[in-house]
Amino acid sequence: MDEQSFSDNGFSLHVKIFDEPAFREKLPLVDNEVHLYRIFFSRQKQHLGDFIRVLSDDEKIDAARFHFQTDREHFIISHGMLRKVLSQYLDVEPIGLKFSYGVYRKPVLEGTPDGCSLCFNMSHSHDIALFALAWNSRIGVDVEYVHFIPDAEVIAKRFFAPQENIAFSAVPPNKKLEAFYNCWTRKEAFLKAMGDGLSRRLDSFTVSLVPEEPARLLSVEGEPLETSRWHLSAFKPAHQYVGAFAVEGN
């Protein structure tokens, strides 16, 4: 387990990064703390039966809809694992957990309005899934598998905010891909924390992206106080992956 403490922007945040859940005892998660879990799908495939057993009937129906076996297995593993991870913090068996969904499909634990109680979010890319948890603070997480994107500049022009594009243009060619994924994962983490999906314009908020500079939410259009209410953090979940999470201060 890796531990990091941050103290900036009025935040005092303690992050624990777990490499696979232990499932042994109830875990303490205190206010101003974030727990992050990283799993590799390839290592979990052998437990597929265990994950299927904890899914709801609806999740089993959703899993069966996937055309490709790999996608189906990843869905089963990530949703089963999410239940097992959440259950470590609550007096509820994994199969007993009930979810409800926001307008833009952000899942929350049923009976807990978004923004209170045990908040969580998950993300998956290629062989990795991440799960992020915090009490009473909206949270969003994103992971991306880093691979060459031939039209990165075109995508940046289309989706990044003007200030992000200025910063992106100044990044040297050998750092461009890293900068691109920094921006992408940080924007996605913030969007996912807010839960309003792509209803929020991608160029209506700005994040830092320059490699080696800290992750920051720099501006939110029309909401100047938002930047001080959120903590944005970047990390490297594994070789060739970029990750970020955004968590609301309380």
Ligand X SMILES: CC(C)(COP(=O)(O)OP(=O)(O)OC[C@H]1O[C@@H](n2cnc3c(N)ncnc32)[C@H](O)[C@@H]1OP(=O)(O)O)[C@@H](O)C(=O)NCCC(=O)NCCS
Compute the distance between CA of residue 37 and CA of residue 18 in angstroms, rounded to an integer.
Answer: 5
Residue type present at position 126: H
What is the closest distance, in whole angstroms, from the C-beta atom of residue 5 to ligand X in the complex? 26
Determine the Cα angle at 96 with ends 95 and 97, to 5°: 95
Closest among 144, 133, 143 to 108, alpha carbons compared: 133
Q: Which of 167, 191 has the CB closer to ligand X? A: 191
What is the closest distance, in whole angstroms, from the C-beta atom of residue 192 to ligand X in the complex? 4
Compute the distance between CA of residue 236 and CA of residue 242 in angstroms, rounded to an integer.
Answer: 5
Strand partners, 38: 19, 130
Q: Which of 54, 122 has the CB closer to ligand X? A: 122
Q: Which of 118, 202 has the CB closer to ligand X? A: 202
Compute the distance between CA of residue 220 and CA of residue 38 in angstroms, rounded to an integer.
Answer: 29
Q: Which of 14, 104 has the CB closer to ligand X? A: 104
Residues at the site binding ligand X, with contacts judged by CB under 6 A: 75, 78, 104-107, 121-124, 140, 142, 159, 184, 187-188, 191-192, 195, 197-198, 202
What is the closest distance, in whole angstroms, from the C-beta atom of residue 160 to ligand X in the complex? 7
What is the closest distance, in whole angstroms, from the C-beta atom of residue 126 to ligand X in the complex? 10
